[in-house]
Each structure stands twice: as structure tokens, then as C-alpha cells.
Chain A
């Protein structure tokens, strides 16, 4: 059974472990609106999320995600 990850925990992970200056409201912004975001952050975040939810994630599933919100939904679905 995968662990549940709350939206608040997701934001904290982005803030504290990736060092991303972001609020819960920013999750809906598209990646085009987050100029700091890049593929290395994506990797770091997914590795951390895997550990948090205790199940393997697959990168291709996330490549078309338009926002952090959609990544959160995919991980917690």
C-alpha cells in the first residue's frame, strides 16, 4: 500500500529538500511560468517522491506533466 502524501507535505518537500521557493498556490502554475524549474529538479523531486510514497515511479509518465499540481495528482492517484 502506497503511503499517502498530502499536498502540504509535497510543498514542504519542494521547499526544504529541493530548495524551491514555492507556495501551495504556485503548484498550479505551468512549468513555463516557473523559470527556475528544469529537468534536474524533476529528477531530484521524483527520487524523493519515490522514497516518500514507497513505490517505483517511471519518468516517461511525468514528461508530459504541465505543472507540479499534475505531478502531485499522478503520484497520489
Chain B
């Protein structure tokens, strides 16, 4: 990082509606005990939050709603006003519209204007990518305070009338893994003793010669009747490759910083599902680190996940202490990570 350390002042989060437990999800889709047992055994997610009302199919929140809520909370917690934000970055795989960019809709609602805004088309590494862009811009000295947002809303891909038993596995998993949510963080290049310092941000495209592990398609007037699945996952590739890439990220961060595994106090592992996260955290093997995970309660809400982990980290982080976060995007494969320290 640059001479002036970048610090995280605050984090805010937003979830739509009440938590949807697996029994409710099963009931909605007319699935029985078998299905609930399978989710409990192989996914482990207890609840998720959905912008779509399961009973009516009505979409009640969009990404701008959730992003605005999360950002409002982050701003309130930081003691920074919206007028002081001089750069904004949003990461999402599911913008409300392709244009206008959702980041600008959120900015408008927050009364932020006249500053650079960026939106990244991103998956589970999106929060780290947004941190990377914001940190780099703050490090130039041209900006002082950044609002970073990440979130996803899968309502477009969530057909409450779907017959899940008729779906191919590559589409079925989408109904079981994912949820909606948004998070936001206020970063500053200013001096704020005690606020966690961003020691390293790492994002690496790792997709050479690799087929996408996840595909989200968008359609227009000419191709909206396409037979291709709008959302599909190669979950076997994900299961195989994400732990490997996560290990690479942890190694690279530790090497760069000269930290030993035993000097890390908090580990924020990738949040695919409870079972996958447990497996990856075990493999990463940080002997002293407290694991901070959220996916069991939030579901996999993509670009928002890291903010939910950071929200808890900021509440728990002792001083001095060190934290490592790892996130992997499985579409065209991006490995990413973040190292934070309170000193």
C-alpha cells in the first residue's frame, strides 16, 4: 500500500425480508423431508434472505434498495457524511439494470454527486476487487474517503413456480446456495488511529484455459426466448478448484507481508456454503485464527459476503491483531484476498 495507510472506518449491511429457512424453502417448492435433509447435509445453509416474496413471486427490493441501506448504515457508523465521500465503487454480478449503473442510482439516493463512481461486474471476489480499486484511488492522494459497496439480488433467476425436481443439477444448486444482500464500507486515507489498516489487497485473474465455473446470462428483445439456462454452475469444478485457489491466496498474502500463519488472529474464508467453507478453512489451517463466517445465516449473497464478515470482524477485532480474508470468484476464476491489521 502507499505511504498513507488506508483504513476501514465502518461497515454496514442490509438483508431483504425475513430469514427464509430451509423448511420454508422446501414448502414453497413442494419439496419434502428428503430435500431438507440434503440441504442440511451437503450445503449446510440454515437461512437465506430473498428479495422475492416466496408466496406471491413479487420482487420487493432491488439492489439499489439494499445498497442504499447498507451504505446509509456504514456512513452513520463512520461519522462521515455523504458529502465527504469523494469516490464510490460498487461490485455486483446482478445490477438492477445494465444502464444506468446501479452505483449511480445508489449515489443519487445518498445525495452523492460530482465524484468519480465505478461499478465492477464481479462475483464472489467483487468486494475485494472494489476494495482494490478504492484503495488504489485513495493511495493516489487524489481522493480521501471512499464508499465501497457490494451486493447481489438474484430475484431475476428465482422462479418461485419452478419444479425443482425437473431442473438439471447445474441449475438446481442456484436455488439452494444463494440469497440476496448488500454491504458497504467507508475507507479513508485520513488519520484515524485504531481503525483497521488495509495492509494488502490482492486480486488475480486465474482463468487461463479454465472453463467458467459459473455463468449468468442476460437477454434482450432478440434473444429473450433463448433455450440457454440464464444461471448455471459447474459445481464440481467449483468444489475442486476453489480450495486450491484459496490456498494460493493465503500463501501469497502471507509471503508478501512476511506474516506467519500463527500470527493471524482472524480468518475470513470464502463463503460458498457451510460445508465448503468448513472444508476450506480446515485446509487453510491458521492455527490461532478465529474463523469469521456468515454463509450459514445469510446464504451465499455473492458480492455482499465479505461485508458481512467484515461487519463482525470490526466488532470483534482486538488491538493489536491481524486478519486475513480470502474470496474466490468461480465464473472465469478470480482469486482474491485482503489483509487487515489493528495496531
Contacts and interface: CB of A to CB of B under 8 A. Distances in A.
Contacts of B34: 43, 46-47, 50, 56-59
Nearest to A57: B34
A63 B38 CA distance: 10
B169 A40 contact: yes
Do most interface residues of chain A lie in helix, strand or loop, or is the interface mixed? helix
Contacts of A64: none
B26 to A, nearest CB: 11
Contacts of B76: none
B259 interface: no
Most chain B beta-carbon contacts within 10 A, residue among A42, A43, A48, A60: A43
Contacts of A58: 33-34, 37
A8 B105 CA distance: 58
Contact of A56 (B32, B38, B168, B236): B32
A34 to B, nearest CB: 13
Interface residues of A, number: 19
B235 A59 contact: no
Interface of A: 19, 38-44, 46-48, 50-51, 56-60, 63
Contacts of B169: 38, 40-41, 44
B37 A59 contact: yes
Interface in B24-41: 31-35, 37-38, 41
14 contacts: A39-B42, A40-B173, A40-B235, A43-B35, A43-B172, A44-B165, A44-B169, A47-B34, A47-B35, A58-B33, A59-B37, A59-B38, A60-B37, A60-B41
A43 B172 CA distance: 10
Nearest to A19: B168
A64 B172 CA distance: 23
Given A44-B169, A44-B172, A47-B165, A39 B38 contact: yes
Nearest to B169: A40
B330 to A, nearest CB: 16
Contacts of A60: 37, 41
Contacts of A38: 169, 235-236
B173 to A, nearest CB: 6
Nearest to B39: A43
A43 B32 contact: no
Contacts of A56: 32-34
Most chain B beta-carbon contacts within 10 A, residue among A39, A48, A56: A39
A51 B165 CA distance: 10
Most chain B beta-carbon contacts within 10 A, residue among A41, A59, A60, A63: A59
B32 A50 contact: yes
B85 to A, nearest CB: 43
Contacts of A59: 34, 37-38, 41
Nearest to A46: B34
